[in-house]
Amino acid sequence: MKLLVTGGAGFIGSNFIHYILEKHSDYQVINLDLLTYCGNLENLKDIEKDERYRFVKGDICDLQLVDDLAKDCDAIVHFAAESHVDRSILDSTPFIRTNILGTVNLLNAAQKYNKRFHYISTDEVFGSLGFTGRFHEKSLYDPHSPYSASKAASDHLVRSYFHTHGLPITITNCSNNYGPYQFPEKLIPLFVTNLLEGKKVPVYGDGLNIRDWLYVEDHCQAIDLVLSKGKIGETYCVGGNEEKTNLEITYKILKFLGFGEEKIEHIVDRKGHDKRYAIDSSKIREELGWQPEHTFEDAMKKTVEWYKENQEWWKRIKTGEYRDYYKKQYNK
- Annotated catalytic residues are 123-124, 147
Task: Write 41-46 long-range contacts (CB < 8 A, 24+).
Answer: 41/9, 41/325, 41/326, 41/329, 42/313, 42/316, 42/322, 42/325, 43/9, 43/10, 43/11, 43/14, 43/181, 44/8, 44/9, 44/14, 44/17, 44/18
CA angle 104, 170, 37 (to 5 degrees): 55
**Among candidates 126, 123, 176, 120, which has minimal Cα distance to 296?**
176
- Cα(129)–Cα(53) distance, rounded to whole angstroms? 41
Strands 53-57 and 28-33: parallel
- Cα(312)–Cα(299) distance, rounded to whole angstroms? 21
- Cα(171)–Cα(192) distance, rounded to whole angstroms? 31
φ, ψ for residue 193 (rounded to 5)? -70, -35
- Cα(15)–Cα(21) distance, rounded to whole angstroms? 10
**Interacting residues of 321 by C-beta distance below 8 A, sequence separation 6+:** 315
